Structures are given as structure tokens and as C-alpha cells.
A and B are shown apart, each in its own frame.
Chain A
Amino acid sequence: MGDDKKFDLKKVKEIVEFMLENDLVEVEIAEGDNKIHLKRPGSSVSQIPVVAPVPAAAHAIPVIAAAPGQPAADDKLVGIKSPIVGTFYSAPSPDSPPYVKVGDHVTSDTVVCIVEAMKVMNEIKAEATGIIEKIMVANGQAVEFGQVLFKIRPD
């Protein structure tokens, strides 16, 4: 697998160079079970090509690794849920840094975000003690009652 990956990356580089030389915007190469699909932004302006490997079979080309950490331990994470329907804001003002970021330690009283409902700002507290592991929603996103906003790894 490791060798395959090296081979593939080298191959991708070669193809990209080939594409740039010939001013190609899209290339698809099938090799056994593996398939590589490369696409550059439409114009001929030479940009960094968008690499989009398309898995054609069960064992696909390894893509960019998923979130670090052990996925098996995910069930130990605790969700901070939205108590109301509203709009999620990660910071106290549009120009402020977010209340919390991944890796921050929070206690039950730590304000982690605001959810605006009916034009009223509701500060949401962590209600648990631990490390912020994942932020599940984007600033300004609409959230539902009970939707998980953050996942924390309890102490």
C-alpha cells in the first residue's frame, strides 16, 4: 500500500507536469483498479491543479488523511448540543476571535458559542469538562434543537 502511494504521488506529479506542458485542463487515467482524475480550473491560467482522485474500486487511491486521532475513540466524545433552534455564532462579536478552538480546555461554565434565536443572543456553556475535539458547525450556520455543536473529550 505504502509503495502504491509513493508510486501514485509520483505519477500524479508527472501527469500534472504533462498537463501544464500541454495546457490540458482535465485528464483521466485508469490503471487496473485505480483511476486518477485530474482537473485544473477552466482557464489556461496556470494555477495549482485541483487533484481529485476518484476511487474506482474497493481499494482506492489513498486520499488526504481523515481527521487525526483514533476514530475508534470517537464514542468517548461528548457532544455539546444546541438547546434551541437558531443561528450559531462562534465569537462574541464579528471581529472577535472564537470563544473556543479545537484543543482548548473547557469547564462546564465556559461559554463556547452563542445561538441567536428570535433576535436574542443565548450564550451556550460547555456543561462538561474536557478538551474541544471537534467543531461541528460553521459560524453563521442555522442549527436545530439538539444539534451537536461541539464534541469534547471529557477529562
Chain B
Amino acid sequence: MTQYAALNSDIIESGLDTNRIGSQIIIYKSTSSTNDIAAEYVRGGKKNDGLAVFAESQTAGRGRRGNKWQSGDGKSILCSILLYEPDIRPDTLTIACAVAAAESIGRCGRNDAKIKWPNDILLDDKKVAGILVEASATKNKKKYYIAGIGINCHQKKEDFSDELSRTATSIDIQSGGICDRNRIAKRLLINLDHYVTGGLENTGEIVEKWRSMSILLGKRITVEHNGRKFTGNCIGIEPIEGLVLQLERGGVKMFDAASTTVVKIELTEIDNG
């Protein structure tokens, strides 16, 4: 088995010129969930704002709707970031994380990471990273968010089950090389810092970038919403309101992220002309 370079807080911190994100960097060898560790630091209040917790392996990583995030030892970037009293909406943070992660991955030899609404990052139409933002408040009503970001880095095809390998991939599989996790982790913090530090004023830039990376716009897709399937052309995509579909059976409908799953994307682009 190849021994990959370990995450190293000295390397990640070196020259890390961020305003907020990465104010503290903590690396765990293994933990149940980096989000849980970040949640412990909420007790420390404002001083722990921007904390980034990484883990080499995670035993109970969470995905959207309680899906388990698969993570082998030292092969992923598993990171949780604590924002204490944030000045953006949690859904804006989700897309900021998606854009920041996609940009970090994309610059690793490729520049073509895409975002699948709402929180998946794809390379060549396969999932390479995921985002999960948990918004909560302390007993004395201080808001905080914990953004969990998982990026598949060194996994090989055989690390995924047959079923999973149809939809999941890693940076190494897609690039054919071995990526530098410390560099990607550092970029992730720098990129996210850029979007988060701007707060509400940056929302426009975040949304614009996010739209430009989104794979769904202009595609014919099928979604499942509250147990029913809908097929149509994706004519709009809003970070907060959701997907806008021109339904095949007529009419335009909005689908919110919380209760919608994209079940099928057709590869051919629709000619809207």
C-alpha cells in the first residue's frame, strides 16, 4: 500500500494569510466526526471562530439526510469549519463551501470541477466531494455554523464498492497522479476565507461562480420530491430557493433543496434557442 503524506498543520498553516478561516488548525488521526469536534469548540465562543478540524479518518461522517460519508484512512480531506456568529445565511455558506472546494480541487492539475446542486462536487460527472453545513445556536442564542467538507483524494477504484464506483471518484483517479492533500487543504481554507470574509456583500459573487460551475443548468433532469418524480428542463438554479424546472407535462415548478433529490441527469444539453 502506498503511504501517502499525512496532513500536517505546520504545512497548512505556513503562509496561511486568512482573515477568519483557519484561525486554529487541529488534526485528528481518527474521530467519529470532525463536525462533532468542531461542535465542542463552540463552548469557547468567539475565540474559536474560523477553527478548522481535520481528520485522517472518520468513523461516523455524515452526509446529507444522514447518508454516511465513506472515508478511508489518510485518503481524504475531512474537514469541519466553525463559524461563530456568522453574517451569512447557512445556505450561502453551503454554496460558498461548494465553490471553494471545487476551486481547490480544480486547480489540482485540472480546472473542471463542477457542482451538482445543492452540495456535491463532481469531476467528470462523478462525485469527488461533498458539503454539509449544520446551523445551530448556543443556549444564549449565539448562532453558529459548522461546515463539513469531505474530498476524496487518494482513493483508487477498488476502494469504492461496485455500486459506488459508478457515481463516486477521487482526485487521483481522475488525474492519474497523486495529489497533495496539504496543498488542497490550504487552498480550501484560503478560498473559503475569501468568500466568507466578504459576508453578505460577497453573496453575489458566490452565487455567480456557483451558477457557472453548476452542471444542472440547461440539462434535462429528473428529481424526486416528497416521494414523487418530476422530469423537466432545468431553466434556473437558485442557491436558496432551489431548482427551477420547466416540467415536461407543463408548467414551471421550484424544488427546494431540503426535500428534493436529483435522480437523473441527461447528458445532452438542451437547446433552449
**Contact assessment for A121 and B27 in the assembled complex, using a CB-CB cutoff below 8 Å:** yes
Flag if B31 contacts A93 (CB, 8 Å).
no
Partner of B9, one of A93, A119, A122: A119
Contact A93 B29 (CB under 8 A): no
Cβ contacts A to B, 20 pairs, < 8 Å: A92-B40, A93-B37, A93-B40, A93-B41, A93-B48, A94-B44, A95-B40, A95-B45, A96-B43, A119-B8, A119-B9, A119-B10, A119-B27, A120-B29, A121-B28, A122-B29, A122-B30, A123-B29, A123-B30, A123-B31
CB distance from B3 to the nearest CB of A (A): 15
Which 10 pairs show the lowest CB-CB distances between chains A and B? A95-B43, A92-B40, A93-B40, A95-B44, A121-B28, A93-B41, A96-B40, A122-B29, A119-B9, A120-B27
| Majority secondary structure, A binding face | loop
Shortest C-beta distance, B105 to chain A (Å), equals 24
From the candidates A94, A95, A96, A121, name the one contacting B29 in the complex (CB within 8 A).
A121
Number of interface residues of B (CB under 8 A): 18
B179 at the interface (CB under 8 A from A): no
For residue B56, which residues in chain A have a CB less than 8 angstroms away from its CB?
120
Question: Is B26 in contact with chain A by the CB < 8 A criterion?
Answer: yes
Chain B residues 89-132 with CB under 8 Å of chain A are none
Beyond known contacts A93-B40, A93-B44, A119-B10: 16 more, CB 8 A cutoff: A93-B37, A93-B43, A93-B48, A94-B44, A95-B40, A95-B41, A95-B43, A95-B44, A96-B40, A119-B27, A120-B28, A121-B27, A121-B28, A122-B29, A122-B30, A123-B30
Task: Please classify how large the interface on chain A is, using the bins under 10, 10 to 19, 20 to 34, 35 or more.
Answer: 10 to 19
Find out whether the CB atom of B28 lies under 8 angstroms from the CB atom of A123.
yes
- The 0/1 profile, CB within 8 Å of A marked 1, for residues 39-57 of chain B is 0110111001000000010
- Choose among B6, B8, B26, B44 the residue that contacts A121 (Cβ–Cβ < 8 A): B26
B residues in contact with A95, CB < 8 Å: 40-41, 43-45
CA distance A91 to B56 in the complex (A): 20
By a CB distance below 8 angstroms, the chain B residues around A93 are 37, 40-41, 43-44, 48
A44 → chain B closest CB, angstroms: 41
Bound Cα distance A105, B112 (Å):
51
- Kindly supply a per-residue 1/0 record for chain A positions 116-138, scoring 1 wherever the CB is within 8 Å of any chain B CB and 0 otherwise: 00011111000000000000000
Determine the chain A residues whose CB is within 8 A of the CB of B26 once the complex forms: 121
How many angstroms from the CA of A121 to the CA of B29 in the assembled complex? Answer: 6
Nearest Cβ in chain A — how far from B141, in angstroms?
A: 18
Q: Shortest beta-carbon distance, B183 to chain A, in Å?
A: 18
Task: Report the minimal beta-carbon distance from B30 to chain A, rounded to whole angstroms.
Answer: 6
Q: Which residues of A contact B48 (CB under 8 A)?
A: 93
A121–B52 alpha-carbon span in the complex (Å): 13
Best-surrounded residue of B9, B10, B40, B45 (most CB of chain A within 10 A): B40
Given the complex, which residues of B lie within 8 Å of A122, measured CB to CB?
Answer: 28-30
What 1/0 flags go to B1-29 for Cβ under 8 Å of A? 00000101110000000000000001111
Residues on the B chain within 8 Å of A121, using CB: 26-29, 31
Q: With CB as the reference atom, state the residue of chain B lying closest to A91.
A: B40
Considering the chains assembled together, what is the distance between the CA atoms of A123 and B37 in angstroms?
A: 11
- Which residues does chain A contribute within 8 Å of B30, judged by CB atoms? 122-123
Once bound together, how far apart are the Cα atoms of A92 and B27, in whole Å?
12
List residues of chain A with CB within 8 A of the CB of B31: 121, 123
Could you tell me the distance between the alpha carbons of A127 and B44 in the complex, rounded to whole angstroms?
30
Residues of A within 8 A of B29 (CB): 120-123
Question: A92 to chain B: which residues have CB within 8 Å?
Answer: 37, 40
**Whose C-beta in chain B lies nearest to the C-beta of A97?**
B43
Closest to B30 in A: A123
Q: Please report the C-alpha to C-alpha distance between residue A95 and residue B40 in the assembled complex, in whole angstroms.
A: 8
CB distance from B136 to the nearest CB of A (A): 16
Give Cα A91–Cα B41 distance, bound, in whole angstroms: 11
Instruction: Report how far A123 CA is from B44 CA in the complex, Å.
Output: 20
Q: Which of B9, B37, B56 has the most CB of A within 10 A?
A: B37
